[in-house]
Amino acid sequence: MILNIGMVYDLRATYLAEGYSEEQVGEFDSESTIEELEKAVLSLGHSPRRIGHGRELCRRLVAGERWDLVLNVAEGLWGRSREAQVPCLLEMFGVPYTFSDPLVCAVTLDKAVAKRIVKSAGLATPQFRLVESERDLASVDLAPPLFAKPVAEGTGKGVDHRSRITSRDALEATCRDLLARFAQPVLVEEYLPGREFTTGLLGTGREARVLGSMEVRIKPTAPAADYSYEVKERCEEFVEYLPMERGALRREVEALALASYRALECRDAGRVDIRLDAQGRPAFLEVNPLPGLHPSHSDLPMIATQEGMAYPELIGSIIDSAARRIQPSGRR
């Protein structure tokens, strides 16, 4: 089936031209990512149509423009439900789209909410506290080492060398800084000292499956010992990505990733980050239901390449999964 596929995305260059900072647009896509996506869609026999960001999508929908399917990779700009904005618009106008629905996009961007759901499903995740204001600092009763980050950001925004916390003074200073800079609660969780992995997943519901896993190793020369914003932005320089060795540990990691993905009801594709605790046991950190899709810079395509899946095949898998939700005209 040949599809007319609209492409909704946030370009870094667009927002930089409007005066936003590099950090504010850190989650957004480069022109090269959109070009590669467009080429992949064409190679699959479909007809891609560039739309742009959510405001442009809104204008075109109101004007009456429609597509068989929308390939949505827009992150949104403001609010903890920003990743849900484009899916909400598309559902309002009855246009099917790739990736998770508005509820899942909102739930998973708020890391505390996602962790509560994962924990309620009986899955391992570090203990945490939410600091909504400086008054909440007194109620943080977890023992160091801890880790602090904004509750609803991606791409390591707000994470740097101060995020790993070893003292009460450091906790208070870091939280005050994050509250002021990001105007949102700070997630403070137990720091897990073990190895870190990211697992790629494809499909929806019972049909969801593991694509593969890779280990993320920060080099000693990096400006932070953890996966910070600067480290991610300069990953070619500061990070080693290694295929995870097969065996019992990989089975545990991937079982946890798949169970978390299903518990959070993600669709089509996504990525789950997992880290080992002091005893070497895997624990859920967070999930990305709108994974980056640059063919060589983003984790999910890197995992696909590692597992022998070509980039167009990965994009085709995502489109095919979403296309199953296309209903005949006139049906909800």
Element spanning 322, H or E: helix 311-323
pLDDT surpassing 90 at residue 155: no
User: What CA–CA distance (Å, rounded) separates 276 from 122?
Assistant: 17
Residue ranges of domains in the chain, CATH in brackets: 4-99 (3.40.50.20), 108-124+193-320 (3.30.470.20), 128-190 (3.30.1490.20)
DSSP bridge pairs for 269: 202
pLDDT surpassing 90 at residue 38: yes
pLDDT surpassing 80 at residue 330: no
pLDDT surpassing 90 at residue 294: yes
Do 217 and 242 touch, CB atoms closer than 8 A?
A: yes
The tokens describing 310, both together, are 């070509």
> Average of pLDDT values for 48-73?
97
> What is the model's pLDDT at position 332?
45
pTM of the model as a whole? 0.94
Element spanning 59, H or E: helix 54-62
> Average of pLDDT values for 104-114?
97
φ, ψ of residue 50 to 5 degrees: the values are -70, 135
Under the banding of pLDDT at 50, 70 and 90, the label for residue 329 is low
Question: In this predicted structure, which of 72-81, 84-93, 302-311 has the lowest mean pLDDT?
Answer: 72-81
Question: In this predicted structure, which of 6-20, 59-73, 220-234, 280-294 has the lowest mean pLDDT?
Answer: 220-234
> Average of pLDDT values for 292-300?
94
> Average of pLDDT values for 150-171?
93
> What is the model's pLDDT at position 26?
85
Do 175 and 137 touch, CB atoms closer than 8 A?
A: yes
Give residue-wise pLDDT tens across range 193-237.
999 999 999 999 999 999 999 999 999 999 988 888 888 888 889
Do 75 and 291 touch, CB atoms closer than 8 A?
A: no
DSSP bridge pairs for 282: 276
The tokens describing 105, both together, are 């996009």
As a whole number, the mean pLDDT across the chain is: 95
CA distances from 314 to 8, 246, 286, 304 (A): 18, 22, 22, 7
Do 304 and 316 touch, CB atoms closer than 8 A?
A: no
As to burial, measured by CB atoms within 10 angstroms (0-12 exposed, 13-18 middle, 19+ buried), residue 221 is exposed
Which residue in the block uniquely carries the two structure tokens 């898998």? 317
Look at residues 191, 209, 190, 192 and name the one whose alpha carbon lies nearest to residue 200: 209
> Average of pLDDT values for 297-322?
97
pLDDT surpassing 60 at residue 166: yes
Do 227 and 234 touch, CB atoms closer than 8 A?
A: no
User: What CA–CA distance (Å, rounded) separates 110 from 95?
Assistant: 26
User: What CA–CA distance (Å, rounded) separates 116 from 228?
Assistant: 24
| Better-scored residue on pLDDT, 314 or 235 | 314
- HSE value, Cβ hemisphere, 13 Å, CA-based, for 286: 24
- At 106, the amino acid letter reads A
Q: Cis peptide leading into 145, omega within 30 of 0?
A: yes
> Average of pLDDT values for 294-307?
96
